[in-house]
Chains A and B, each alone.
Chain A
Amino acid sequence: MPNQTSASTEAIRRRRLSAEALPEFAREVKDAGGQLIALWGSDDRHLDAGFAVHAAFLTGAGLVWVDAALAADDPVHPDLAAIFPQAGRMQRATFDLLGIRAAGAVDTRKWLRHNAWSENHYPLRKDFVWQVAGAEASPLATHHSPLPQVDGYPFIRVEGDGVHEIPVGPIHAGTIEPGHFRFSIIGDRILKLEERLGYTHQGVEKRFEGLDPDQGARLAGRVSGDSHSAFTWAYCMAVETATATPVPERALWLRALFLEIERVANHLGDLGYLGNDVALAFGFMQFWRLKEDWLRLCARLFGHRYLFDRIVPGGVAVDLDAAGGAELAVLAERMAGEVRELKAIYDEHAGLQDRFANTGIVRPELAARLGLTGLAGRASAQAWDARAQFPIRPYDQLDVNMATARRGDVLARAEVRFAEIFESLRLIRDILARLPDGPIRVKLAPTSGPAEGLGWVEGWRGEVLVALRLNADGRLDRAHPHDPSWRAWPLLEVGVLGNIVPDFPLINKSFNLSYSGQDL
């Protein structure tokens, strides 16, 4: 694949391997304690190549982006799920979207395809025809039947005396995203949980094709709305790497400010929800009161409650004046005090502690084996935090303290959230105090040929990755946004085993994974 690759930070490296060498490389990473973060594919036939499979590995030295060229007629690569189980669903999704097969994989069921397009059609291939006048010729033919066919997804059945199944979702009583959970239970004890996701598949990756970088940023931010700043920053970092555009210092500091604001807002909301899920509505109301104050100030200072579209390729779209900065610093100070008070209430509430402690335990060994990183990983002693270990600008000057816990239960995940709120509030005040002067946006440098870039940002849920390739005309050829939920969803299936059904919503909420982020 012709390209000009440049890494924005030294922590991101690029390797090209043959497909046969992938398992060996993965094994080396695994033996050295690394993890597989993402796996995706690309159709490079218009660049005089075949297909390619890409993988991002997290190692002690940073991120390694590996790709391997595959044949154009029958793209096959050796299975990686045997080494990194988290690769399983990514491989299945890659097959559904691109027809790239993982040879020797144990689970080859479809993953993202819900009969929206038919078998043997692969929407992410460049020659995929998706707007056809004649209904018969369209791969989206099922749309023309009055009722969509039954999905026919083969769930794994548990058999035995007294075992029964509870199907939950994809439509839920609360306003949450759609996902189907199939419980096999005895009494109230969970014997097996199987998830079926993909209901929010919107063809985001396909939509990226042909967008200009600015439009792409808007789309990238909407992959998972609660991680908006993380996704747009990762996307912008990838674009800026591909075009070799230096971003103004002040813009980078403001981006970090937005990312920490987003982290605080999400953690506040989650801690409130955790209280609500054990019927302690007091905690819910208090945390959401704080979150509301936080969002309203964002709306006033930056023009959007959730800071949508404030990070743009080449910098940021909105500046902060001294008065606004002072106001934010005051609120951050007050917030820290109030959260400390609420933490004392949570810590001393026997009923709440009884529900949180020892519920949904994910042991460190299990987390390591299934590749859990990010917030939930840190609660199970998986000490990965790109802000602390592989800091990009301005985190290299901020000394982020990583929060970790060992217990791996709901309580641990709540405690990591509390610690991260305090740390983020400290970082916000630090950033505000040291915000450098200067311009906040530059024009992107023009590209001469296809150029690739990777963005890697520690969002509130975990590391958010965006890999993309720009065409010679500066438009997007392929973009792959990757949410950490990809790796946490399969772990949730295992993490709830042995727990009781009524505890599942609490466990699920303590992870609070993204549906749309992994369905794309």
Chain B
Amino acid sequence: MTTGILLQITQTLLAILLAPLLMGWVNQCRAWLQGRAAPPITQPYRVLRKLFHKDAVIAHDASPLFRFAPYMIFACMALAAGIVPTLANDLPFSPAADVIALVGIFALARVFLALAAMDIGTSFGSLGARREMLVSFLAEPALLMVFFTASLISRSTELPVIVEALAHKEFVIYPSLAFAAVAFWMVSTAENARIPIDNPTTHLELTMIHEAMILEYSARHLALIEWAVALKLFTYSALGIALFVPWGIAPAGDLAALPLALLALVAKMAVGGAGLSLLEAVSAKVRLFRAPEFLGTAFLLAVLGMLTHFLLEV
């Protein structure tokens, strides 16, 4: 049990510490693909350090909610990172929440971010919050459908059971997971405010979704939010790995498999990050009102995945 708790703490800390590295890697790949010199892979850490050293400027009209929200958002993401198996399976935290509760944790963070954005009363904040809600209420059902497809195979919504069923049992090809994987990728781009739904590097306030909500944040608050954004990307990547390419995650209680698990994790994240930046480099952002179509397609694919399961795999 103590090993389990130690392992749990290690995994959560590792996620928190490595998350900016993934962000740095994605930025680096994207810069290369655009044909420009890349910032160092450690750039996100430097940004965080810079932000933590600054004095926070807070709007006069801000309520305590505005100050509180960054901590809440960061805590949600750290919790989510602890639940998703990245290194080892079936850790003490895992039973705390199944995939449905996980979606709830993401939603909680989002609600706080949206409330904080509207709290200041600037037009951009409410604009961003409104758009975020439009995107997320379409993304969440699709995400749930993806999880249901995976849980139909393992007969459980608990992530450790799903990983156990897919990675450590007899190897079976599940066509339903192919549909679910594409749907999951589409949802993740929307949820992580990436191209083609949102553009994390834009300076055009009127086009922003996620960035519009955090325009008023500065210093440590902004650092926490930026860190949480990196952590969210990391957690989603870990989720994708757990659901679709779980091989390498150490089975419960197998300490010897840990080094290999770490290696596998880094390799999969590197490939995933490069893939994300490639897709971002070749896509343009879709018109905001095309986002529902995009997410509708994701939902449809996830439903097809479920139907495929009943048709072919039962």
Chain A residues proximal to chain B, CB less than 8 Å:
164-168, 172-174, 188, 275, 277-282, 284-286, 289, 349, 351-352, 354-355, 359, 500-505
B59 within 8 A of A: no
Q: Separation in Å of the B193 CB from the closest CB of chain A?
A: 12
Q: Separation in Å of the B87 CB from the closest CB of chain A?
A: 34
- Is there an interface contact between B206 and A504, defined as CB atoms closer than 8 Å? yes
- Is there an interface contact between A503 and B34, defined as CB atoms closer than 8 Å? no
Task: Return the contact of A188 from the options B199, B285, B288 (Cβ within 8 A).
Answer: B288
Residues from 124 to 155 in B contacting A, C-beta threshold 8 Å: 124, 127, 131
Task: Return the contact of A289 from the options B30, B35, B288 (Cβ within 8 A).
Answer: B35
A233 to B52, CA, bound (A): 52
Closest chain B residue to A503 by CB distance? Answer: B287
* CB-CB under 8 A for A167 and B123, given A285-B35, A351-B196: yes
- Is there an interface contact between A168 and B34, defined as CB atoms closer than 8 Å? no
- Is there an interface contact between B287 and A354, defined as CB atoms closer than 8 Å? yes
Task: Return the contact of B286 from the options A166, A173, A354 (Cβ within 8 A).
Answer: A354
A278 to B284, CA, bound (A): 5
Chain B residues proximal to chain A, CB less than 8 Å:
30, 33-36, 123-124, 127, 131, 195-196, 199, 201-207, 281-290
- Is there an interface contact between A351 and B206, defined as CB atoms closer than 8 Å? no
- Is there an interface contact between B287 and A282, defined as CB atoms closer than 8 Å? no
* CB-CB under 8 A for A166 and B127, given A278-B284, A280-B284, A351-B283: yes
Q: 26 A-B contacts, Cβ less than 8 Å apart? A: A164-B123, A165-B123, A166-B206, A167-B123, A168-B206, A172-B205, A174-B203, A278-B285, A279-B195, A279-B199, A279-B284, A280-B283, A280-B284, A281-B34, A282-B33, A282-B34, A284-B34, A285-B35, A286-B35, A351-B284, A351-B286, A355-B284, A355-B285, A355-B286, A500-B289, A502-B206
* CB-CB under 8 A for A281 and B204, given A166-B124, A352-B284: no
- Is there an interface contact between B35 and A173, defined as CB atoms closer than 8 Å? no
Closest chain A residue to B123 by CB distance? Answer: A166
Closest chain A residue to B284 by CB distance? Answer: A351
Closest chain B residue to A278 by CB distance? Answer: B284
A127 to B195, CA, bound (A): 58
A66 to B228, CA, bound (A): 64
A459 to B198, CA, bound (A): 36
* CB-CB under 8 A for A505 and B35, given A188-B289, A281-B281, A355-B285: no
Q: Which 6 A-B pairs have the closest CB atoms?
A: A351-B284, A279-B285, A279-B199, A174-B203, A166-B123, A505-B204
A-B residue pair count with CB separations less than 8 angstroms: 79
Question: Which residues of B sit under 8 angstroms from A355, Cβ to Cβ?
Answer: 284-287
Question: Which residues of B sit under 8 angstroms from A352, Cβ to Cβ?
Answer: 284
Q: A164-B123, A168-B205 are in contact. List 15 more A-B contacts (CB 8 A).
A: A167-B123, A172-B203, A173-B205, A188-B131, A188-B289, A278-B284, A279-B285, A282-B35, A282-B281, A284-B34, A285-B35, A285-B36, A351-B285, A503-B288, A504-B206
Closest chain B residue to A164 by CB distance? Answer: B123
Question: Which residues of A sit under 8 angstroms from B196, Cβ to Cβ?
Answer: 279, 351
A282 to B280, CA, bound (A): 10
A279 to B123, CA, bound (A): 23
Q: Separation in Å of the B277 CB from the closest CB of chain A?
A: 11
B281, B286, B287, B290 pick with most chain A CB within 10 angstroms = B287
A281 to B195, CA, bound (A): 11
Closest chain A residue to B208 by CB distance? Answer: A502
- Is there an interface contact between A500 and B285, defined as CB atoms closer than 8 Å? no
Q: Separation in Å of the A366 CB from the closest CB of chain B?
A: 22
A284 to B123, CA, bound (A): 29
Closest chain A residue to B280 by CB distance? Answer: A279
Question: Which residues of B sit under 8 angstroms from A173, Cβ to Cβ?
Answer: 203-205
* CB-CB under 8 A for A349 and B36, given A166-B123, A279-B199, A505-B207: no
Q: Separation in Å of the B134 CB from the closest CB of chain A?
A: 9
Closest chain A residue to B194 by CB distance? Answer: A279
B36, B124, B131, B201 pick with most chain A CB within 10 angstroms = B36
Task: Return the contact of B204 from the options A277, A284, A351, A500 (Cβ within 8 A).
Answer: A277
Question: Which residues of B sit under 8 angstroms from A351, Cβ to Cβ?
Answer: 196, 283-286
Question: Which residues of B sit under 8 angstroms from A167, Cβ to Cβ?
Answer: 123
Task: Return the contact of A502 from the options B35, B195, B207 (Cβ within 8 A).
Answer: B207
A167, A281, A351, A352 pick with most chain B CB within 10 angstroms = A281
- Is there an interface contact between A501 and B286, defined as CB atoms closer than 8 Å? no
A351 to B283, CA, bound (A): 7
Q: Separation in Å of the A290 CB from the closest CB of chain B?
A: 12
Q: Separation in Å of the B74 CB from the closest CB of chain A?
A: 24
Question: Which residues of B sit under 8 angstroms from A503, Cβ to Cβ?
Answer: 287-288
A260 to B244, CA, bound (A): 56
Q: Separation in Å of the B266 CB from the closest CB of chain A?
A: 27
Q: Separation in Å of the B173 CB from the closest CB of chain A?
A: 32
Q: Separation in Å of the B124 CB from the closest CB of chain A?
A: 7
Closest chain B residue to A165 by CB distance? Answer: B123
Question: Which residues of B sit under 8 angstroms from A188, Cβ to Cβ?
Answer: 131, 288-289
Closest chain A residue to B126 by CB distance? Answer: A164
Question: Which residues of A sit under 8 angstroms from B287, Cβ to Cβ?
Answer: 354-355, 359, 500, 502-503
- Is there an interface contact between B288 and A502, defined as CB atoms closer than 8 Å? yes
